[in-house]
Amino acid sequence: MDNLKIIIAAFVGSAILTGLIRDYAIRRAMVDVPNERSSHTSPTPRGGGLAIVATFIAVLSLLFIRDLLSPSFFLAMSLGSLSVAVIGFWDDHGHVPPCWRILVHFAAAGWALYCLGGISSLLPKDVSADIGWLGAAGGAVLIVWMLNLYNFMDGIDGIAAVEAICVAGGAAVIMWLHGDSSQLLLLLGLAAGCMGFLVWNWPPAKIFMGDVGSGFLGFVLSLFALSDYGGTGMNIWSWLILSGIFVVDATITLGRRIWRGERFYLAHRSHAYQILSRRLGSHAKVTLGTFIINIVWLMPFAFLAATYDEYAIGFLVISLLPIVWGAVRIGAGTAS
């Protein structure tokens, strides 16, 4: 019952905080005004993801006080994610040069990997490898890519919150089915915080997540994936499957833009989900479709990959192929 109260409190607290942050954003003129690269048509306040940050850190701290989390995991998750959130909230107030954002992102990733014992300690238990600084660099790049990926994909109402709910909630269900409760409550707390925010962010959105929320979610979920690798509940392939829609769309779009020599770091409307929302004339349909694909298609494959580890890469390929096909057919990265 206490665990249920924590989840409910995270949901209610996030919903209330989002409303308060919306009032603050309007007073401070933290508003996204539509332009030719926008997917919205009305000026909308941003920064609502701060509510997700606050509720998750509260749940994280409570579990740590109860001795349910290791000090290394708590330090990696709390200080790393808060660094990303702070630079994101600063950017929501006014433009922060990309070089400073990236510097903070890599510093946060490096800190988290150091606290977790380095990338070598996160390999499967039956794999022994001394990959040194190359492994650490690769792990940092993966974390920074994932946190920026969420930023890239947070372009229509509700989609980033729904994706985070599906990834965190799906991982929690798979862990529960495998009898692993080590991160269960924390994942459900994250999902509940996103649901509270979604009350305000569902199309038509009354407030946007902003960089404070999107970067934070990408960082936190990537740390969950890395810290659980080799555990009894999930593996890295299961996490990639659960994140398949965002990983595929962002990767194909970015790859095509780089190939054409475009300034890929500038705002644009060429992600598959953005193109589809214009064709359908609806953010809600695309966001709801994202939820359905996650639950009906990706989550069962993530469970299979976690259950039959030796076939996990095969399940990853099978689950993502239709999504790759769909993103290419829609025209991810090709439309202006």
Identify the band that residue 125 occupies on the pLDDT scale cut at 50, 70 and 90: very low
Q: How far apart are CA 148 and CA 35, in angstroms?
A: 22
* Residue 263 in this model has a pLDDT that exceeds 80: no
- Per-residue pLDDT at 305: 94
% of the chain at pLDDT higher than 90: 75
pLDDT tens-digit map of 78-94 = 999 999 999 999 999 98
- SS3 category, 32: strand
Count of positions (residues) in the chain: 336
* Backbone φ, ψ for residue 248 (5° rounding): -65, -50
The model scores a pTM over 0.85: yes
| Mean per-residue pLDDT, 137-163 | 92
| Mean per-residue pLDDT, 292-318 | 95
Q: How far apart are CA 219 and CA 148, in angstroms?
A: 9
Cis (ω within 30 of 0) for the bond into 204? yes
- Per-residue pLDDT at 57: 98
| Mean per-residue pLDDT, 208-213 | 97
- Per-residue pLDDT at 138: 79
For residues 93 and 30, the answer to whether their CB atoms sit within 8 Å is yes
Evaluate the CA torsion angle 111, 115, 120, 125 in order and state its sign: negative
- Per-residue pLDDT at 172: 95
* Residue 130 in this model has a pLDDT that exceeds 70: no
* Residue 39 in this model has a pLDDT that exceeds 70: yes
Q: How far apart are CA 233 and CA 210, in angstroms?
A: 31
For residues 161 and 198, the answer to whether their CB atoms sit within 8 Å is yes
| Mean per-residue pLDDT, 59-76 | 95
Average pLDDT, the chain: 90
Q: How far apart are CA 28 and CA 20, in angstroms?
A: 12
For residues 294 and 170, the answer to whether their CB atoms sit within 8 Å is yes
Phi-psi region for residue 24, left (φ > 0), alpha (ψ -120 to 50) or beta?
Answer: alpha
| Mean per-residue pLDDT, 222-236 | 76
- Per-residue pLDDT at 121: 44
| Mean per-residue pLDDT, 258-282 | 87
Identify the band that residue 52 occupies on the pLDDT scale cut at 50, 70 and 90: very high
Least trusted range by pLDDT, from 99-103, 157-161, 262-266, 317-321: 262-266
* Residue 244 in this model has a pLDDT that exceeds 60: yes
